[in-house]
Amino acid sequence: MDVLASGAEQVVFCSDPGSGLRAVIAIHSTALGPALGGTRFHPYATEDEAVADALRLARAMSYKNSLAGLDLGGGKAVVIGDPRTDKTEPLLRAYGRFVEALGGRYLTACDVGTTNADLDVVARETRFAHGRSEVYGGCGDSSVLTAFGVFQGMRAAAQHRWGTSSLAGRTVAVAGVGKVGSWLVDRLVADGADVVVTDVDTAAVERVLARHPGVDAVSDTETLVRTPADVYAPCALGGALDDETVAVLSAEVVCGGANNQLAHEGIAEQLTKRGILYAPDYLVNAGGVIQVEDERHGFSFARAEAKAAGIYDVALRVFEAAAAEGVSPAVAADRLAEERIRSVGRLATIRLPR
Ligand SMILES: NC(=O)c1ccc[n+]([C@@H]2O[C@H](COP(=O)([O-])OP(=O)(O)OC[C@H]3O[C@@H](n4cnc5c(N)ncnc54)[C@H](O)[C@@H]3O)[C@@H](O)[C@H]2O)c1
């Protein structure tokens, strides 16, 4: 892995043998502000694998934060270990000290394998931990606004595709009804959509069906992608859209909360060729980072929700730009994100008096 050629500004290796901490913090860009991105706690097989994941995720955060209109660059941290057995107070606090040592160039938050409560522990050692519990004035569970943002992106896709932003009477297939997926189902049902769900965790499906008896469930994702639907919403793991899935997908719109939905770059083009409108994942799932970022101003749910509602307008701009430029929405979103990093990031070159 050629770290220096990766485009990242800074990569920090953190080691504390006393607590067992082994972590990598990758700062992709600080052009728009401090690099914000969560801390992933995962049993990577090798150090190289951890570094590659941190670099890939940090870059994605630069694009997500830019398109969300935040004054934030992109970064990400990975802690090497099993979150179920290796996560201890000393380890989290040691990690917090490394975050503090970066002096605010990197702001951390939750990700896969870390919780609000973990960030409360990290925050005992650093001013630069966000995504904290509500009892500490934090934003709490960020999946609430993540789902809200996905819903806004879906409304924009409906507007672009069918000329109405309402999902009433549309069938939406939701793959994965964990935190984000189940909040999304609530929004869709309230809007009058017909919803079909699946999840490998049958208890998660049962919880949704108990709340919404009108929702249908199918046995697995392979069945769901073939189920006649207007919108397909991947809300489970990454790589949901691969060659096989795109070939059989019945929906006209793809819009979901999962990160890294495209198994490879060519998938965006394949979707466009099949006439399927793809709402870029990092654009529509930015409600979570918007919720977390709001902590910097003293958390207000109403303010964060108002900002996340803006995902509707940005998504419409992306769809319109994609159509005008003859590219996929994924390419149009990247271009918009890069343009803001260039044009707003450049302002830091105007020298201020000290
Ligand atoms: N939580 C957030 O604020 C947030 C923000 C941005 C992006 N995301 C992304 O959204 C996705 C969902 O996040 P979450 O917080 O809801 O996680 P979660 O763990 O609460 O939910 C994921 C659900 O997907 C299910 N699942 C896993 N594999 C599956 C499969 N093969 N088929 C069907 N279902 C499967 C799980 O059983 C679980 O119920 C992830 O990709 C995450 O990275 C989450």
Fold of 143-339: Rossmann fold (3.40.50)
The predicted-structure confidence for 80-97, as pLDDT tens digits, reads as follows 999 999 999 999 999 999
User: Is 178 annotated as contributing to ligand binding?
Assistant: yes
The predicted-structure confidence for 33-63, as pLDDT tens digits, reads as follows 999 999 999 999 999 999 999 999 999 999 9
Q: Whose CA is nearest to atom 30 of ligand 1?
A: 200
**Residue 225: per-residue pLDDT:** 97
For the chain, the three-class secondary structure string (H helix, E strand, C coil) is CCCCCCCCCEEEEEEECCCCEEEEEEEEECCCCCEECCEEEECCCCHHHHHHHHHHHHHHHHHHHHHCCCCCEEEEEEEECCHHHHCCHHHHHHHHHHHHHCCCCEEECECCCCCHHHHHHHCCCCCCECCCCHHHCCCCCCHHHHHHHHHHHHHHHHHHHHCCCCCCCCEEEEECCCHHHHHHHHHHHHHCCEEEEECCCHHHHHHHHHHCCCCEECCCHHHHHHCCCCEEEECCCCCCECHHHHHHCCCCEECCCCCCCECCCHHHHHHHHCCCEECCHHHHCCHHHHHHHHHHHCCCHHHHHHHHHCHHHHHHHHHHHHHHHCCCHHHHHHHHHHHHHHHHHHHHHCCCCC
112-125: average pLDDT: 96
Q: Whose CA is nearest to atom 19 of ligand 1?
A: 178
Ligand 1 center to 235 CA (angstroms):
5
C-alpha distance across the termini of the chain, in Å: 40
Ligand 1 center to 260 CA (angstroms):
12
Question: Rounded to an integer, what distance in angstroms lies between the CA atom of residue 66 and that of residue 345?
Answer: 10
Dihedral (CA of 240, 132, 70, 160) sign: positive
CATH architecture of 3-59+73-136: 3-Layer(aba) Sandwich (3.40)
Ligand 1 center to 103 CA (angstroms):
32
Q: Whose CA is nearest to atom 28 of ligand 1?
A: 236
**Residue 302: per-residue pLDDT:** 97
Task: Please give the model's pTM, rounded to 2 decimal places.
Answer: 0.94
Q: What are phi and psi of 42, to 5 degrees?
A: -150, 140
The predicted-structure confidence for 162-207, as pLDDT tens digits, reads as follows 999 999 999 999 999 999 999 999 999 999 999 999 999 999 999 9
CB 111 within 8 A of CB 39: yes
The predicted-structure confidence for 300-309, as pLDDT tens digits, reads as follows 999 999 999 9
Q: Pocket of ligand 1, candidates 200, 224, 260: which has the most ligand atoms within 8 Å of its Cβ, to mutate?
A: 200
**Residue 207: per-residue pLDDT:** 98
User: Is 180 annotated as contributing to ligand binding?
Assistant: yes
Of 2-11, 252-261, 266-275, 314-323, the one with minimum mean pLDDT is 2-11
The ranges assigned to domains in the chain are 3-59+73-136, 143-339
Give the number of other CB atoms < 10 A from CB of residue 255.
Answer: 30
Nearest ligand 1 atom, CA 143: 3
Cα-based distances in Å from 190 to 198, 215, 220, 260, 273: 19, 12, 25, 28, 32
76 is a catalytic site residue = yes
Question: Rounded to an integer, what distance in angstroms lies between the CA atom of residue 284 and that of residue 149?
Answer: 6
**Length of the chain in residues, anyone?**
354
Strand partners for 80: 42
Nearest ligand 1 atom, CA 221: 32
CB 229 within 8 A of CB 175: no
**Residue 3: per-residue pLDDT:** 86
CB 202 within 8 A of CB 228: no
User: Residues near 68 by Cβ (< 8 Å), separated by ≥ 6?
Assistant: 286, 289, 290, 293, 307, 311, 314
Report the mean per-residue pLDDT for the chain.
Answer: 97
For ligand 1, which residues put their CB under 6 angstroms from it?
A: 142-143, 146, 175-181, 198-201, 204, 221, 235-238, 257-259, 285, 288
66-74: average pLDDT: 98
Question: Rounded to an integer, what distance in angstroms lies between the CA atom of residue 203 and that of residue 221?
Answer: 16
The confidence band for 354, taking pLDDT boundaries of 50, 70 and 90, is: confident
Give the number of other CB atoms < 10 A from CB of residue 116.
Answer: 20
